[in-house]
Amino acid sequence: MKKIIIDPVTRIEGHAKITIDVDANNRISDAKIHVTQFRGFEKFCEGQIYSQMPALTARTCGICPVSHAISSIKACDILLGVTPPQAGINLRKIINLAQILQSHTLSFFHLSSPDFIYGFDAKKEDRNIFKMMQTHPQMAKDGIMLRAFGQKVIQTLGGKRIHPDGLVPGGVEQNLDTQTKNTLLLEIPNAIKIAEETLIFFKNNLAKFEKEIDSFGVFPSLFMALVDENGNLEHYDGKLKIIDSEGNVLQENISPQHYKEFIGEAVEAESYLKSPYYKPFGYPQGMYRVGALARLNIAKACGTPKADKELLAFKALNAGKPVLNSFYYHYARLIEMLYALEKIELLLKDETTMGEALHRTSKILKTQAVGCSEAPRGTLFHDYEVDTNGIIQKVNLIIATGNNNLAMNAGLKQVAQTFINAEDVSEGALNRVEALIRCFDPCLSCSTHALGIVSSNIELKDHNKNIIQIFKRN
Amino acid sequence: MRVIIGYGNKLRGEDGFGVDVIEVLQKRKLVDTKLISVMQLTPELTLELLAATHIIFVDTAFSQTDHYALACAMEIQNGAALSHHIAPQTIRMFLRLLYAKNPDFEIISMLSSNFDEIPNKRSYKRSLNAVVAYLS
């Protein structure tokens, strides 16, 4: 057996490598993603005071710090027994949606769009954002504009673009004033126009990618997401819902506090990324997917007019049953971008958003709490145990990307078996292997630019696990 | 207008050099100069540079040797493999190709291999003072 190694995987967030096993008959027998960076947050958070956790855990990442801060402050709210004022909740929701907007924008415009514009077989030197700037400058500008808007919302309401410090237990530090509200509202119509045009571009190009749509991680799996009290799309709060690939409801109305009854965590060799699974089905049969695709598969509606119209078309892809093609994560993210903009507008116009945004308190009432929210890449859990002084005794984090670990591996195997010829590995095939990973938009976390070492590699190994070839992707 | 961008992570030892330079410059009241302090360079930063005629990036660059030396580190470590942070050269490309802007560029890098702490505070300060004096 041979093994193909892609190392580093490019145009993803963080550091990883992919290994592809080839059997004695030159057939692909397995493929896996290995996350090669170790962070250790769960361990070194022990001994910290609870109030440090939002700022500390936000450092898990430079791209989705808001998500960590949101889940963390929600856990702290429970420890303190406090419900933030409605204005505080609304402002948290706005900041969370702005983060989803800017993250999805980065994923589509800066990481994945070169594949959609030039195709997966285009020359490597053409398949990047520099070429895109030359041939599709308006699209590149649109990506910058949407990112800028998302970051502006986070900075204005949260204090900083990256690692905002305005998200605190009990609400948010800063109330919304009329001038800020009006300034942000002014930019939304143009942002919505860009999001709609991008959706049209994507849908118009889908016919070019039929083979990828039919082979990029298309398999039955469970799906998990938060939904609101009406079963609609929800990113900040709500209850967990789990469905199967036919759309049958396995669990609903689950409080995130009870996640351990349903979610188990396995560890796989050669990777620091955990492999969560649906406990009743066991490991690894309990594989589930989270993120934009799962959210849209589970939600009955978005609750905003433009996104709801798009959701209807999305659900029609599989006649109302869950969409199983991981390629459509891109589609789902674009719909969520539109939703995020519409919802931010609604929340900014909501009069209750203008009230007092923070309920101050500091007495520990509970010693265990789970904060949960929908991050751009899926459901994020922060589970804290503290002593009566609020000192952290134990932390368990289930990161959004980790939820998708088993599904990413299943998708990798499928793509490798479809496109890789072990005797002659083409650049287009390697790019498709990486592109499967980009469908999930994994965030493997890096919050410093300092060493700036590129993301990942692909390894080819024989049946004795000997490396035959390494494809360096930098 | 001149724009000076200091970037880095102050929680990562000497990686915070660019941010420290900006903090000192903010007390100098420099004329016709905009100061920007960020953790990393991101695409949307381009929009804040459209009026710039001269852009100076101040950063820490990895080097196994020559610690605390000042240099112009041009190596693009993440190039086309674009992640959530980008290189100064990419910002320049954004400005030129998307907005037809072609300002002068300078890159000032303090060389370091320590991203956990600042082991030699005196040398660090000397480098910082040198950059501040040059930019003031």
Domain ranges of chain A: 1-37+411-474, 83-217+325-360, 219-324
* A127 vs A440 pLDDT, higher one: A440
- Report pLDDT for A268: 77
* Beta strands B104-112 and B70-71, pairing class: antiparallel
- Report pLDDT for A448: 25
- Report pLDDT for A15: 62
Q: For residues A321 and A316, give the distance between their C-alpha atoms in angstroms, rounded to a whole number.
A: 8
Least confident of A136-145, A416-425, B31-40: A416-425
Q: Which of A13, A124, A128 sits opposite B84 (nearest CB)?
A: A13
B50-76 average pLDDT score: 85
Asked if residue A57 lies in contact with residue A42, where contact means CB atoms within 8 angstroms, the answer is no
- Report pLDDT for A68: 93
Q: For residues A158 and A58, give the distance between their C-alpha atoms in angstroms, rounded to a whole number.
A: 13
- Report pLDDT for A100: 96
State yes or no: pLDDT of A241 exceeds 60.
Answer: yes
State yes or no: pLDDT of A449 exceeds 70.
Answer: no
- Confirm or reject contact between B27 and chain A (CB < 8 A): no
Interface of A with B in 149-178 (CB under 8 A): 151, 161-163
Superfamily of domain A83-217+325-360: Cytochrome-c3 Hydrogenase, chain B (1.10.645.10)
pLDDT tens track for A38-65:
777 888 899 999 999 998 888 777 678 8
DSSP B65: S
* A315 vs A15 pLDDT, higher one: A315
Residue with tokens 């095939």: A429
Structure tokens at B10: 């102050």
Asked if residue A384 lies in contact with residue A75, where contact means CB atoms within 8 angstroms, the answer is yes
| Residue whose C-alpha is closest to residue A374's, from A301, A296, A280 | A296
Q: Tell me the pLDDT of chain A averaged across its residues.
A: 89
- Report pLDDT for B78: 44
Least confident of A13-22, A87-96, A305-314, A316-325: A13-22
User: Between the CA atoms of A427, A429, A435 and A440, what dihedral angle is there, to the nearest 10 degrees?
Assistant: -150
- Between CA A6 and CA A13, with CA A8 as vertex, the angle to 5 degrees is 125
- Per CATH, domain B2-135 is 1.20.1740.10: no
> Residue A272's pLDDT band (boundaries 50, 70, 90)?
confident
Q: Tell me the pLDDT of chain B averaged across its residues.
A: 87
**3-state class (DSSP) for residue A436:** helix
Spell out which residues of chain B touch residue A101, defining contact as CB-CB under 8 Å: none
A74-78 average pLDDT score: 96
- Report pLDDT for A40: 78
State yes or no: pLDDT of A452 exceeds 80.
Answer: no
State yes or no: pLDDT of A455 exceeds 50.
Answer: no
Closest chain B residue to A448 measured between Cα atoms? Answer: B9
How far from A390 is each of A49, A341, B5, CA to CA, in Å? 6, 37, 39
A132-158 average pLDDT score: 94
Diameter of chain B measured on Cα atoms: 43
* Segment (H or E) for A70: helix A65-80
What residues contact A313, with CB distance under 8 A and at least 6 apart?
Answer: none
* A362 vs A87 pLDDT, higher one: A87
Structure tokens at A144: 């910058």
Most A CBs within 10 Å: which of B83, B107, B111, as the mutation test of the A interface?
Answer: B83
Ranges A40-49, A265-274, A338-347, B63-72, most confident: A338-347
Domain extents in chain B: 2-135
